[in-house]
Amino acid sequence: MKQKTHFGSYLSGFILSALFVTLAYGLVSHHALPNARLYLSIAALAIVQLIVHVLFYFRPALKSNADTDRWSMLVFVLTLIIITIVISGSLWIMYNLNYYMVN
């Protein structure tokens, strides 16, 4: 069975990903915003980057083989759960370290 390639989708995703990474780098390296807004902007760009990856890289892979849709979605959901645990745990640890170093 011939595997379909999704070169256009991958290229669009790569260009958008490169654009968002460059934008985030520019904001941080040039101190374009105050700290609070900079943190929110970086978080928003990270969420948009995640959406771009899902739409341009994950979705075409799901459409290529109908038999693996359920397993691919399960892997994707478990990945999101692990990412959420790692990020929330890291923020919790950093908050506690900051609290105990200041007090």
Q: Please write the tens of the pLDDT for every residue from 45-59.
A: 999 998 998 888 877
Could you identify the residue written with the tokens 């999704």?
Answer: 6
Q: What pLDDT is attached to residue 74?
A: 82
Determine contact, residues 52/18, Cβ cutoff 8 Å.
Answer: no
| Same domain as 31, residue 18 | yes
| Same domain as 16, residue 56 | yes
Lowest mean pLDDT among 17-31, 69-83, 84-98: 69-83
Amino acid in the structure at residue 13: G
| Same domain as 17, residue 53 | yes
pLDDT, greater one: 15 or 2: 15
Determine contact, residues 33/41, Cβ cutoff 8 Å.
Answer: yes
Could you identify the residue written with the tokens 């890289």?
Answer: 57
| Same domain as 45, residue 21 | yes
- Containing structural domain, residue 82: 66-103
| Same domain as 76, residue 29 | no
Is the per-residue pLDDT at 3 higher than 60? Answer: no
* Tally of domains within the chain: 2
CB atoms within 10 A of CB 91: 10
Determine contact, residues 42/28, Cβ cutoff 8 Å.
Answer: yes
